[in-house]
Amino acid sequence: MKKTVLVSGGAGFIGSHVTVELIQAGYDVVVADNFSNCDRTGYEGVKKITGREDIPLEVMDFCDMKAVEALFGKYPIDAVIHFAAYKAVGESVAQPLKYYKNNLSSFLNVLEAAQKKGSFVLFSSSATVYGEPDSVPVTEATPRKPATSPYGNTKTICEDILHDTVKASEGRLKGILLRYFNPIGAHPSALIGELPRGVPNNLVPFITQTAIGKRECLRIFGNDYPTPDGTCLRDYIDIVDLAKAHVYAVGRMVEGRMKQDCEVFNVGTGRPVSVLELVNAFEKVNGVKLNYKFAPRRAGDVTAIWADPTLANTEMGWKATRTVEQTLKSAWEWEKHLAGK
Q: For residue 27, which phi and psi values (nearest 5 degrees)?
A: -85, 150
Q: Could you tell me the smallest distance in angstroms from the CB atom of residue 206 to ligand UDP?
A: 4
C-alpha separations of 68 from 33, 37, 73 in Å: 11, 19, 9
Q: Which of 275, 276, 312, 320: binder of ligand UDP (CB under 6 A)?
A: 275
Q: Which of 50, 105, 169, 202: binder of ligand UDP (CB under 6 A)?
A: 202
Q: By CB under 6 A, is residue 292 in contact with ligand UDP? A: no
Q: Could you tell me the smallest distance in angstroms from the CB atom of residue 12 to ligand UDP?
A: 16
Binding footprint of ligand UDP, residue count (CB under 6 A): 14
Judge whether 151 counts as a catalytic residue. Answer: yes
Q: By CB under 6 A, is residue 234 in contact with ligand UDP? A: yes
Q: Could you tell me the smallest distance in angstroms from the CB atom of residue 269 to ligand UDP?
A: 14
Q: By CB under 6 A, is residue 201 in contact with ligand UDP? A: yes
Nearer to ligand UDP, 51 or 226 (CB): 226
C-alpha separations of 228 from 138, 272, 275 in Å: 19, 11, 11
Q: Could you tell me the smallest distance in angstroms from the CB atom of residue 193 to ligand UDP?
A: 15
Distance between CA atoms of residues 63 and 107, nearest Å: 8
Nearer to ligand UDP, 187 or 234 (CB): 234
Q: Could you tell me the smallest distance in angstroms from the CB atom of residue 183 to ligand UDP?
A: 9
Nearer to ligand UDP, 47 or 322 (CB): 322
Q: By CB under 6 A, is residue 220 in contact with ligand UDP? A: yes
Burial class (CB in 10 A: 0-12, 13-18, 19+), 242: buried
Distance between CA atoms of residues 125 and 157, nearest Å: 10
Among candidate residues 310, 282, 84, 327, the one with its CA nearest the CA of residue 184: 327
Distance between CA atoms of residues 336 and 214, nearest Å: 11
Nearer to ligand UDP, 101 or 298 (CB): 298
Distance between CA atoms of residues 311 and 124, nearest Å: 17
Distance between CA atoms of residues 296 and 224, nearest Å: 9
Contact partners, residue 276, CB within 8 Å, separation at least 6: 220, 223, 229, 230, 231
Query: Which parts of 300-339 interact with ligand UDP (CB under 6 A)?
Result: 301
Instruction: Classify residue 127 by its DSSP letter.
Output: G
Query: Which parts of 171-200 interact with ligand UDP (CB under 6 A)?
Result: 182
CB atoms within 10 A of CB 317: 11
Q: Could you tell me the smallest distance in angstroms from the CB atom of residue 77 to ligand UDP?
A: 30
Nearer to ligand UDP, 24 or 201 (CB): 201
Q: Which of 144, 219, 336, 337: binder of ligand UDP (CB under 6 A)?
A: 219
Active site amino acids:
151
- Positions in the binding site for ligand UDP (CB under 6 A): 182, 201-203, 206, 218-221, 232, 234, 275, 298, 301
